Amino acid sequence: MKYIIRVIKYFVYISLIMTLILVVLAAAGFISKDINVIFRDGYRSLWKIGAMFLAVAAVYPRFGFTKRGAIILGEYKDIRDGVVDFMKDRNYVLEKEEGENLYFRQKSVLNRATRMFEDRISLTRDLSGFYVEGLTKDVTRLVYGLEYKFKEGEEETQ
């Protein structure tokens, strides 16, 4: 169900961006205001364009979201505060905590809006650390950062 909601969100987002671009270009006088001039088949082109946007929106969530493991050794009670501080430094706030699982959201409403409010990062506890789930670019950045932070702290204690 979450996947279908994301597809719909991205379809609407892509459609709105394209509409906004066309309106700005038409208002500035760079393109004609007549849809029959803008598109070769006029209004009949809209369903083709919509189908292309739907195809992109249907595929994007598969590659745009991921789940990766972050190796963070130690007891949960020992590493929890370090994880929360790390996420706070990257403008995330703790949304909720369920047992040893942590859920974060972007602090900035503007950042949340540009990500269509798909900014949740979930850290699910695992034997070797956490599984981090969310937007692929954020997950990659956060996993490497968390591993580096806790590896660095581990080397200092040895």
Per-residue pLDDT of the chain (158 residues; tens, 9 = 90+): 888 998 999 999 999 999 999 999 999 988 888 888 888 888 888 999 999 999 999 998 888 889 999 999 888 888 899 999 999 999 999 999 998 999 999 998 888 887 878 888 999 998 888 999 999 989 999 999 999 988 865 555 54
Which strands sit side by side in the sheet containing 92-98, from one edge to the other? Answer: 65-71, 129-135, 121-126, 101-106, 92-98
Q: What is the pTM of this model?
A: 0.73
What pLDDT does 154 receive? Answer: 57
Torsion angle of C-alpha atoms 129, 60, 86, 108, degrees rounded to 10: -150
Position 156 scores a pLDDT of: 52
Q: What is the pLDDT of residue 140?
A: 93
**How many Å apart are CA 115 and CA 105, to the nearest integer?**
11
CB 84 within 8 A of CB 94: yes
Quote the CA–CA distance of 113 and 81 in Å, as a whole number. 28
pLDDT of residue 21: 94
Distance CA 113, CA 33 (A): 29
Q: Judging by DSSP bridges, how do beta strands 101-106 and 121-126 pair with one another? A: antiparallel
